[in-house]
């Protein structure tokens, strides 16, 4: 089993790698099979280099888990490639990496791509692709939300294109891993003691809003459970479970283009002209990543 996981130096990504290695050990793997690559998703050149290095040492890829991300970066910043930092790190970088690795994924009998999105994608704007790299009107919440929405849309569109090109052996799904206490919150007040213990649920709801509808709370017990769910953030191990489920479970074999929360399929945010918007996002991404003349082998 050959797996590529981004953002595996800490948090959920590190736990995903740990559990994949544990499962692989039962099949005869050993620690030497853990190969670390220094990948900077904010630099297209770095992504091209790492993709080439992976292709040189592996004849196929079974799993690609796009997990790395930046949450609520405090200021507007452009990358060397000219794109807003969060947009490129969370979405464009993973788009480019995925497209470059699709040939290797297609060589596996059954391959899976997992795009780690977030609950925050529900609160994205209309994703105006002409404005994503502009300083005017920028704010950290919107940049994060739109990058996570883009991953959901990409999963949907890539599924369509893979099936149209007879590459149905590759499935692509996105998920919300849950609200976990990891380094991804390092740019927020949640990371500052003692606020990280006292105001965790409040701060998260302020930044990303809650999916809890009080009209759906049927009892006092449900309200208490909802409160404690927000207060006691997930551990990295807990947060890794839905990505691992999509990567390994037989229950989702052949399922593609879907969105999952807590190992269950849920409806993602959809917009008017959804199919057309997903297609436009894909074509835009191909252009800005310089893949117009790239031919998959």
pLDDT value at 180 more than 60:
no
The Cα–Cα gap between 255 and 264 comes to: 12
* Token pair for 177: 């891993």
What pLDDT score was predicted for residue 35? 84
Long-range contacts of 49-54 (CB under 8 A, 24+ apart): 50/97, 51/97, 51/100, 51/101, 54/4, 54/101, 54/104
Tokens of 65: 């888990």
Q: What confidence score (pLDDT) does residue 197 get?
A: 52
Stretch among 18-27, 62-71, 143-152, 208-217 having the lowest mean pLDDT: 208-217
Number of CB atoms found within 10 A of residue 272's CB: 7
Cα 294 to its chain centre, rounded Å, is 24
Mention the CATH class of domain 3-180+236-288: alpha beta
Lowest mean pLDDT across 58-72, 100-114, 208-222? 208-222
**Bond from prior residue into 194 cis (ω within 30 degrees of 0):** yes
Average pLDDT score over residue span 250-267: 97
| Residue 8 confidence (pLDDT) | 87
Is the per-residue pLDDT at 211 higher than 50? no
Half-sphere exposure of 35 (CA within 13 A, CB side): 11
Contact 154, 127 (CB under 8 A): no
- Dump pLDDT digits (tens) for 107-153: 999 999 999 999 999 989 879 999 999 999 899 899 999 999 999 99
| 293/152: higher pLDDT | 152
63-66 sheet: strands from edge to edge: 3-5, 63-66, 111-116, 170-176, 259-261, 264-266
Q: Which residue has the higher pLDDT, 110 or 201?
A: 110
Give residue-wise pLDDT tens across range 67-116: 999 988 889 999 999 999 999 999 999 999 999 999 999 999 999 999 99
Domain ranges for the chain: 3-180+236-288, 181-233
Query: For 90, phi and psi rounded to 5 degrees?
Result: -80, -35
What is the distance between the alpha carbons of residues 112 and 149, in angstroms, rounded to a whole number?
20
In terms of pLDDT, which residue wins out, 163 or 137?
163
What pLDDT sits at residue 171?
98
pLDDT at 1: 87
Measured CA to CA, the distance from residue 262 to residue 179 in angstroms comes to 11
Mean pLDDT of 170-181: 86
Judge whether 39 and 54 are in contact, CB under 8 Å.
Answer: no
β pairing state of 259-261 and 170-176: parallel
Distance CA 257, CA 153 (A): 9
Supply the mean pLDDT for the chain: 84
**Residue with the larger pLDDT of the pair 230 and 288:** 288
User: Strands 264-266 and 259-261: what pairing?
Assistant: antiparallel
Does the structure show a pLDDT above 80 at 277? Answer: yes
For residues 252 and 241, give the distance between their C-alpha atoms in angstroms, rounded to a whole number.
14
Alpha helices in 165-234 (DSSP H): 195-198, 200-208, 220-231
Phi/psi-derived region of residue 12, left when phi > 0, alpha when psi is between -120 and 50, beta in every other case: alpha
**In the predicted structure, residue 212 carries a pLDDT above the cut 90:** no
Token pair for 277:
């918007």
On the question of pLDDT at 190 being above 70, the answer is: no
Alpha-carbon distances of 267 from 98, 167, 244, rounded to whole Å: 23, 25, 20
Whole-number pLDDT of residue 194: 59
Helix axes 93-106, 140-164, angle to 10 degrees: 20
In which band, very low, low, confident or very high, does the pLDDT at 30 lie, cut at 50, 70 and 90? low
pLDDT at 219: 45
């Amino acid at each position: 089993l050959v797996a590529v996981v981004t953002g595996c130096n800490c948090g959920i990504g590190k736990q995903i790698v740990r559990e994949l290695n544990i499962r692989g050990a039962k099949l005869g793997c050993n620690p030497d099979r853990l190969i670390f690559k220094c990948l900077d998703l904010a630099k297209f050149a770095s992504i091209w280099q790492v993709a080439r290095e992976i292709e040189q040492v592996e004849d196929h890829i079974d799993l690609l888990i796009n997990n790395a991300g930046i949450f609520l970066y405090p200021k507007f910043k452009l990358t060397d490639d000219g794109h807003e930092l969060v947009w490129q790190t969370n979405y464009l970088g993973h788009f480019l990496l995925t497209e470059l690795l699709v040939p290797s994924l297609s060589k596996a009998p059954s391959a899976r791509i997992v795009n780690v999105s977030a609950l925050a994608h529900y609160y994205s704007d209309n994703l105006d692709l002409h404005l994503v790299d502009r300083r005017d009107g920028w704010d950290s919440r919107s940049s994060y939300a739109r990058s996570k929405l883009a991953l959901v849309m990409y999963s949907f569109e890539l599924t369509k294109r893979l099936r149209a090109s007879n590459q149905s052996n590759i499935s692509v799904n996105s998920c919300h891993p849950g609200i976990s206490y990891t380094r991804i919150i390092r740019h927020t007040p949640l990371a500052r003691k003692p606020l990280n213990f006292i105001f965790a649920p409040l701060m998260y709801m302020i930044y990303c809003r809650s999916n809890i509808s009080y009209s759906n709370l049927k009892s006092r017990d449900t309200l208490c459970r909802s409160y404690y769910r927000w207060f006691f953030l997930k551990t990295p191990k807990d947060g890794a479970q839905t990505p691992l489920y999509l990567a390994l479970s037989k229950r989702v074999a052949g399922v593609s283009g879907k969105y999952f929360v807590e190992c269950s399929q849920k409806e993602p945010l959809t917009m008017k002209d959804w199919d057309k918007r997903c297609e436009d996002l894909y074509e835009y991404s191909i252009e800005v990543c310089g893949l117009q003349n790239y031919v998959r082998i």
